[in-house]
Amino acid sequence: MTRLLSHLTQEVIVFLLAATLFLAAAIFLPGFMFKDGAFQAGNLIAMVRAVSVLGILAVGMGIVIIGRGIDLSAVAVMAMSVAWYLQMLNSGVPGWQALGWALAGVVAVGLINGFMVAYADVPAIFVTLASSYFVYGFVRSQLIVSDATPAPAGSWILELPNLGLVTSTHIPIDVYAFGAAVFVGFLFLRFTKWGRYIYLMGDNFMAARNMGVPVRPMTVLYYVISALMAFVAGILTTSSIQSMNVRVVNSNMLYDVILVCVIGGIGLSGGKGYMRNVVVGALLIGIMGNAMTIMDFTNVEQNLIKSIILLTAIIIDGLLNPRDEQTAQQGDI
């Protein structure tokens, strides 16, 4: 029994919880999976789409958190870079040129975040918070004209849902993108030298630095990765709703992204977690959010329930994997 319990890590608990919720919703909640006894895919597809964007952001965030950082600018970069890109397309900038500018902007934000954290020793939480405000303020006041920027008719973004692969399998493009992001993230973390470096830095930053891990370039790298992931997430959002509304920056989407990581079991103290934790976390948040929407819970009630789930997951994890001064990690929070 105790052996069994010791396998119940947070990610397993959360996975079981997600599976239970899914089954319960499928059986008891009309409109979730079955309507009037007949299978219907529509709602499931909507759910998976919603989760995918969150999941892609969480892939970037997860890599940053494993390396003992945090990126509060992810949602701002997602919304503002894509809004600016669409704005450029709408005002007649040639496609490749616009994409180039937008990507350059995204990489620049990642570089600045990374440089400030790694070379100027400013805590990541302040750097990325400031850059979130800056990116939002600068783009909204200087580069775009209104909150919602529509995608121009005939743009490649709008064609994404109609790709051959997508129409033949009926699986939305978002899911392919999320899957690809998770897979690439997995390969990067698991099999490349730089992926190992990120784990080393997250586990024990001082030790990693002292033994010659290039900690500063690596820090810059993972903020750039996070910014690029945010851009991809933004493109996908636009492909499904045909425009980008920058008001999302002021929503609590960012907290949902962090929630996906933390609830999936990526330790905020760094060095712990894998891409599968992101998947598990995204599944739970997605199923929960969708079920609650069908049940007509308000946003406020949904937040309340999410908070309870988060606390429960953390408390159960604390009970099953107790920590004291000998097991506590450096920089644990």
Contact residues for another protein, defined by CB under 8 A: 191-197, 199-200, 203-204, 206-216, 271-272, 324-327, 329-330
Q: Name the residue nearer to another protein (CB basis): 42 or 322.
A: 322
Q: Measured between alpha carbons, how far is 35 from 4 in angstroms, rounded to an integer?
A: 38
Q: Least distance to another protein from the beta carbon of 103, Å? A: 23
Instruction: Encode 193-208: b = buried (16+ Cβ within 10 Å), e = exposed.
Output: ebbebbbbbbbbbeeb
Q: Half-sphere exposure of residue 96, counting CA atoms within 13 Å on the CB side?
A: 0
Locate 182 and state its tokens.
């998770």
Q: Is the CB of residue 26 less than 8 Å from the CB of residue 34?
A: yes
Nearer Cβ to another protein, position 59 or 118? 118
Smallest gap, in angstroms, from Cβ of residue 69 to another protein? 17
What's the min distance (Å) between Cβ of 313 and another protein? 19
Q: Which residues contact 132 (CB under 8 A, 6 or more apart)?
A: 72, 73, 75, 76, 77, 249
Tokens 């947070």 — which residue? 10
Provide the minimum distance between the beta carbon of 62 and another protein in the complex, in angstroms, as a whole number. Answer: 16
* Shortest Å distance, C-beta 202 to another protein: 9
Residue with the two structure tokens 């990642």: 110
The neighbour count for residue 159, using CB atoms within 10 Å, is 11
Query: Considering beta carbons, is residue 185 or 195 the nearer one to another protein?
Result: 195
Both tokens assigned to 108: 């620049």
Instruction: Return the number of the residue (60 or 273) whose C-beta is nearest another protein.
Output: 273
Give the shortest CB-57-to-another protein separation in angstroms: 25
Q: How many CB atoms lie within 10 A of CB 311?
A: 10
Q: Which is nearer to another protein, 122 or 253 (CB)?
A: 122
Question: For residues 190 and 247, which CB has a smaller minimum distance to another protein in the complex?
Answer: 190
Q: What residues contact residue 239 under an 8 Å CB cut-off, 6+ apart?
A: 151, 157, 158, 160, 161, 173, 174
